[in-house]
Amino acid sequence: MSRVLNYSLVAIAALLMASSASAHHSHAMFDTDKQVTLVGTVKEFEWNNPHCWIQVLVPDPKDPKAPPVEWGVEMGAPMQLIRHGWKPGSLKPGDKITVVINPLRDGRPAGQIVSAIGPDGKPIGAVPETKSK
Partner 1 sequence: MIRRTIAIAALLLAGCLYFSQAQSFSNSKARAEAFAKLPDWSGLWEFDIWTDELDGQQMGPEGMSRAKVYAAEMQATFTPAWQAKLEQLKKKADAAKATDASDPPAFEEFGQFGGCGWTPGFPATMLPGTYEWRVTPEEATLISLLGSVRHIYTDGRPHPSKDELWPMSQGDSIGHWEGDTLVVDTVSIRSPVYFPGLARGVGVPFIPMSNELHSVERIRMVNHDQMQIQFTVEDPIALAKPVHVTFNWHRVKDINRMEQNADDCDDAASDRNPIVNGRYRTIVKPPPATPTGPTGR
- Asked if 63 and 104 touch (Cβ cutoff 8 Å), the reply is no
- The residues pairing with 104 across neighbouring beta strands, listed in sequence order, are 30
**In terms of CB distance, is 24 or 34 closer to partner 1?**
24
**In terms of CB distance, is 7 or 64 closer to partner 1?**
7
SS (H, E, C) 10-59: HHHHHHHCCCCCCCCCCCCCECCCCCEEEEEEEEEEECCCCCCEEEEEEC
Selected binder of partner 1 within 36, 41, 44, 118 (CB under 8 A): 44
Smallest separation (angstroms) from partner 1 to the CB of 122: 15
Residues 67-106 that bind partner 1 (CB under 8 A): 70-72, 74-84, 86, 104-106
118 counts as binding partner 1 under rule CB under 8 A: no
Return the half-sphere exposure (C-beta side, CA atoms, 13 A cut-off) of residue 120: 6
Smallest separation (angstroms) from partner 1 to the CB of 131: 6
Q: How far apart are CA 63 and CA 121, in angstroms?
A: 25
* Residues making contact with partner 1 (CB under 8 A): 1, 3-7, 9, 11-13, 15-29, 32, 44, 46, 48-51, 53, 55, 70-72, 74-84, 86, 104-106, 108-110, 112-115, 125, 128-129, 131-133
